[in-house]
Chain A
Amino acid sequence: MANPVTKLRNTAEEFKIKSPKDKKRFIVDSILNNALYILMLIFVIYTAIMKPNFLSLGSLANLITQVAAYLPMALGIGGCIVLTGTDLSAGRVMGLTAAVSAVFMQKLDIPNRMFAAMPEPSVPWLLVTLLVVLAIGALIGLVNGFFVAKFSLHPFIVTLSTQLITYGIILWFFNLNDNNGTPFGGLSDVYMDSVGGTMFRLDNIGVPVYVLYAVILTALMWFIWNKTTFGKNMFAVGSNAEAAKVSGVNVFWTTVLVHTLAGACYGYAGFIEGVRSGSVQAGTGMNAECDAIAACVIGGVSFVGGTGKISGIILGVVILRLIFVALTMLGVGSSSLYIIKGAIILCACALDMRKYLVKK
């Protein structure tokens, strides 16, 4: 990778020898290509002026916490986008696994305990819970991957149906044992402390332990994407499945495994979400995949397929969260937030296509 300073200097020298018309073109190009970054900068500056405590350490802790919570799903969905697909079931899988984690880790002494037969929450039981939710996520991912790979169905169709089926399972799960859709609360201290316990404080705002887990997961995903044959195969299939097949890549298993891995990531995201929400409802995780997809596209994981970096996904999640933290501080209502989210996704896609066209 070139030194950014040298790169910038080269760009500046190239800029000097351009004709006035080209100069204007260059400026317009740079503004448009970086529209979302510029927009983020405007939001940050405006929020910092209006609400001075936005630029505090506490606000940074808040941002880190949010990024750590939203990153796992984006890392999972990133792989599906590299394969020129997507995954619409992510949010509901997160909801289901959050519900399962909550039920597994409920306190013994609460009156409306879901399953009386569950053992007392302890650290080994917490690990069992984690494995179970990872397996549930991976299983749904496996179903997605199988249908996409075996029948070359478009992931939109397959994952839309698994999204609905998963939601049905969630609703059914919430109505077991005369529960009547009551949220699962009363989570045990073992679960709350080992996932959401405070690691250290910045400006009196605690940074939870799952930030550390998110770092570990990111490192693991970076390793899988960049250092394993599976990761290289994934990019090969994403950029050209036919060529990958000819050069001996097992397209079927690569596709299945990418979706399975993504499913496991959503399972982990649900495990975290249970602690974050404190009490899991049937609607938990709804539309969460939209944020993850938006973060990936902003971070340069292109719908064109075969391109994307882990660092890009992190950047995308940070930008999206920063915009939303700023908007929340400004008191922007949730109805406007949805419009803004939609516009950001469309804008990110247009930018993505524009970069592709200009490069050609």
Chain B
Amino acid sequence: MAQIPPYPSQDSQDQEPETPKFRGLYRYVKVSVRTLDIIIAACVIVIIVATIAGMNGGPTVTFDSRGGTDVAAVDCEPGEKLVAPEPPTREGYTFTGWYRDPNCTDMWDMSEDLVSEDITLYAGWSKNDP
């Protein structure tokens, strides 16, 4: 008897809904609707938990040392003064303080100013005389 070319059998067609074929970027994804439901529910829970956790965190102050050594961000309580971090260093420059704007015109006064929201402070540098 002659060889019959391998056509897809009836069984494999029945199985198709079980292993659906995606196109595009999902080409190699094999997932069932049930698993997706769990993923969606998990993501929603993560979003809600992150929101609640983040709300209690208070404002964050990040420091942009602008070429100097890195300074880690600080989480503070709203309406409190900022505790001065270790000043950054930079070769050939002297640190002059932290400023609200990158052009270093509006200085942050550690003894006066209160943190109310997320803010980035920029390091001020003056060039050393050679």
Chain A residues in contact with chain B, CB under 8 A? 28, 32, 35, 39, 43, 84-86, 180-183, 185-186, 238-240, 279, 281, 302-306, 327, 330-337, 339-340, 343-344, 346-347, 350-351, 353-354, 356-358, 360
| Cβ-defined contact, A331 with B40, below 8 A | no
Given the known inter-chain contacts A305-B24, A305-B25, A331-B58, please indicate yes or no for A281 contacting B43, CB distance below 8 A.
no
Across the interface, which residues of B come within 8 angstroms of A347, CB to CB?
A: 39-40, 43-44, 47
Query: Do A360 and B102 touch (CB < 8 A)?
Result: no
**How far is it, in angstroms, between the C-alpha of A32 and the C-alpha of B31 when the chains are bound?**
16
Q: Is B83 an interface residue (CB 8 A)?
A: no
Residue from the list A239, A281, A336, A353 in contact with B102, Cβ < 8 A: A281
A350 engages B43 (CB within 8 Å): yes
Query: What are 16 A-B contacts defined by CB distance under 8 Å?
Result: A43-B51, A85-B25, A182-B102, A183-B102, A185-B102, A240-B23, A304-B26, A331-B55, A333-B58, A333-B75, A335-B54, A335-B57, A343-B43, A346-B43, A347-B44, A357-B20
Among B17, B25, B32, chain A packs the most CB atoms within 10 A around the CB of B25
Across the interface, which residues of A come within 8 angstroms of B29, CB to CB? Answer: 353
B40 touches A335 (CB 8 A): no
| Residues of chain B within 8 A of A182, CB atoms compared | 66, 102
B24: contacting residue among A84, A334, A358, CB under 8 A: A84
CB closest chain-B residue, reference A326 = B51
B22 near A304 with CB under 8 A, answer: yes
CA distance in complex: A181, B90 (Å)? 13
Chain B contact-residue range equals: 35 or more
Q: Say yes or no: B25 contacts A86, CB within 8 Å.
A: yes
Ranked 9 nearest A-B pairs via Cβ: A336-B54, A305-B24, A347-B43, A84-B24, A332-B54, A303-B25, A183-B102, A333-B57, A339-B50
Cβ A332 vs Cβ B24 within 8 A: no
- Known A-B contacts A182-B66, A304-B26, A346-B39; A39 and B60 likewise in contact (beta carbons under 8 Å): no
Check if B67 is an interface residue, CB within 8 A of chain A. Answer: yes
Within 8 A of A (CB), among B89-130: 101-103, 117-118
Distance in Å: Cβ of B126 to nearest Cβ of chain A? 13
Which one of B23, B24, B39, B44 has the greatest number of beta carbons of chain A within 10 Å?
B24
At the interface, yes or no: B37 with Cβ under 8 Å from chain A?
yes
- Interface status of B46 (Cβ within 8 A of chain A): yes
A333 touches B40 (CB 8 A): no
A306 surroundings in chain B (CB, below 8 A): 23-24
Pair A39/B20 contact, Cβ less than 8 Å: no
Question: Does B4 interact with chain A (Cβ within 8 Å)?
Answer: no
Do B43 and A84 touch across chains, with their CB atoms under 8 A apart?
no
* Nearest CB of chain B from residue A347's CB, rounded to whole Å: 4
On chain A, the residues within 8 Å of B43 by CB distance are 343-344, 346-347, 350
**Residues in B neighbouring A340, C-beta threshold 8 A:** 46-47, 50-51, 54
Q: Counting CB contacts under 8 A, is B78 at the interface?
A: yes
Q: How far is the CA of A330 from the CA of B54 in the complex (A)?
A: 9
Given contacts A35-B44, A84-B25, A358-B33, 10 further A-B pairs with CB under 8 A are A32-B37, A279-B102, A304-B26, A305-B24, A332-B54, A333-B75, A350-B39, A350-B43, A356-B20, A356-B26
Residue of A nearest to B43 (CB): A347
Interface of chain B residues 2 through 49 with chain A (CB within 8 A): 17, 20, 22-26, 29, 31-33, 36-37, 39-41, 43-44, 46-47
Q: Does B53 contact A (CB under 8 A)?
A: yes
Query: Could you tell me the distance between the alpha carbons of A335 and B55 in the complex, rounded to whole angstroms?
Result: 11
- Set of chain A residues within 8 Å of B39, measured between Cβ atoms: 346-347, 350
CB 8 Å contact bits of B69-83 with A (1 = contact, 0 = none): 000000100100000
Q: Are A344 and B47 in contact (CB under 8 A)?
A: yes
Contact at B24–A302, with CB atoms within 8 Å? yes
Q: Which chain B residues border A185 with CB–CB below 8 Å?
A: 101-103
- Is A350 in contact with B36, judged by CB distance below 8 angstroms? yes
